[in-house]
Amino acid sequence: MNNSLLDPFFTPFECKSLKVANRFTMAPMSRYFSPGGILTEASADYYRRRIEGGVGCVITEGVAVDRPGSVAADTVPGFFGEEGLAAWDRARSGVQAAGGAIIPQLWHVGGCEDFNYPDSPHPPLESPSGFAGPEIPGGREMTLKDVDGVIASFVRAALDAQRLGFDAIELHGAHGYLFDQFFWDATNLRSDRYGGPDIADRARFAVDVVSAIRQAVGPDYAIIFRVSQWKTYQYEAKIARTPQELERWLVPLADAGVDIFHGSDRRFWEHAFPEHGDYNLAGWAKKVTGKPAITVGSVGLDRDLMQDFVSGESAPTLKSLDELARRFDRGEFDLVALGRVLLADPNWLKKVREGRSGELRPYSKECMETLF
């Protein structure tokens, strides 16, 4: 029997260059299956299978921009160079031929060593003030020349994405990496244009990157920006403590050219500012900017991402789908990103929609070992 709860999500979504057949996208998930930084055909097939399994869009794993030290593991795919871009173009064409949209997530880790592969060789890292977390050294402090170099590398990647026909780009501004190191007062101690006591001061680096990309790609190419409060180094960290701070953080980004905000929550049903209502981060991003939003976090699972790293498994559950539908119905967000459920089972959406949840492949650490 069809699960009619999901019917409202099976309507198209459009924002500038991005056209998605339904409201589900694959969440960006690093897989470390790209030797020498070149995406393989197995990864391209893995992405295509998610579209065949029912989602309308793929946001790719974080991809390195063309800057030494933009990533800290040599198996993260690069989004630059003839060979690297040709590999990504094959993935793009497979996804689009299957009827899906594809969005590269452009990544610079700043001062963070790779969480999963701390011993992987990589060029020296760079960060706003030489910190990866509160009092955790990471990367050398960036000069203004470095800032210009990083901006140029993001612009190159955005232009390549547009030229190759990717449907949009996403900037990874979440989880404690470069953009987030600028946002966070624990990692941004700068006294120049890119630092300062207010979140609006610390957002200026991201604003400059977005403005430069917008100028390069023109008005009609969709730019998504992913944000989170939590960081890999501190799950309870908060960039914005109030909706007013969120506004001072995100509105300048929207004014600079962000079209869609991706609010990364560990559990989508949690309230971003409990004393101000029950909206999640994506919902608040939409409220304060007026832009469409993507939600994410434990859809279809009983454990959040960080508990998983400890326990290594998460059982499928559909109990949160009522709540997802309730929030979607009131317009809290426009798209839903699915992470681990799709990593485990490319056909998760199809099976859930067709009432075949008993056939779902559960998520476990073993799922990380192959590109199923």
Q: In angstroms, what is the minimal distance from the CB of 172 to ligand FMN?
A: 5
Q: Which of 46, 47, 177, 279 is catalytic?
A: 177
- Count how many residues are written for the chain: 372
Coil vs helix vs strand at 7: helix
In the chain, the N- to C-terminal Cα span, in Å, equals 27
Q: How many CB atoms lie within 10 A of CB 128?
A: 28
**And the tokens for 155?**
């612009």
Question: How far, rounded to the nearest angstrom, does the alpha carbon of residue 201 sit from its chain's CA centroid?
Answer: 23
- The answer to whether residues 64 and 70 touch, using CB atoms and an 8 Å cutoff, is yes
d(Cα 248, Cα 162) in Å, to the nearest integer? 29
Specify the residue, 203 or 343, whose C-beta has the smaller distance to ligand FMN. Answer: 343
Q: Which one of 204-212, 279-287, 292-300, 326-334 is the stretch in contact with ligand FMN (CB under 6 A)?
A: 292-300
Q: In angstroms, what is the minimal distance from the CB of 347 to ligand FMN?
A: 16
Q: Which one of 208-216, 246-254, 287-295, 296-304 is the stretch in contact with ligand FMN (CB under 6 A)?
A: 296-304
Q: Which of 105, 187, 232, 295 forms a contact with ligand FMN (CB under 6 A)?
A: 105
Coil vs helix vs strand at 294: strand
Residue 174 lies near ligand FMN (rule: CB under 6 A)? yes
Which residues face 133 on adjacent strands?
Answer: 136
Specify the residue, 190 or 226, whose C-beta has the smaller distance to ligand FMN. Answer: 226
Q: Which of 213, 305, 324, 349 forms a contact with ligand FMN (CB under 6 A)?
A: 305
**Amino acid, single-letter form, for residue 16:** K
Residue 75 lies near ligand FMN (rule: CB under 6 A)? no
Specify the residue, 190 or 324, whose C-beta has the smaller distance to ligand FMN. Answer: 324
d(Cα 203, Cα 198) in Å, to the nearest integer? 9
**And the tokens for 360?**
């779902």
Specify the residue, 139 or 300, whose C-beta has the smaller distance to ligand FMN. Answer: 300
Contacts with ligand FMN by CB under 6 A: the residue count is 21
Q: Would you tell me which residues interact with ligand FMN (CB under 6 A)? A: 27-30, 61-62, 105, 172, 174-175, 226, 264, 296-299, 301, 305, 338-340
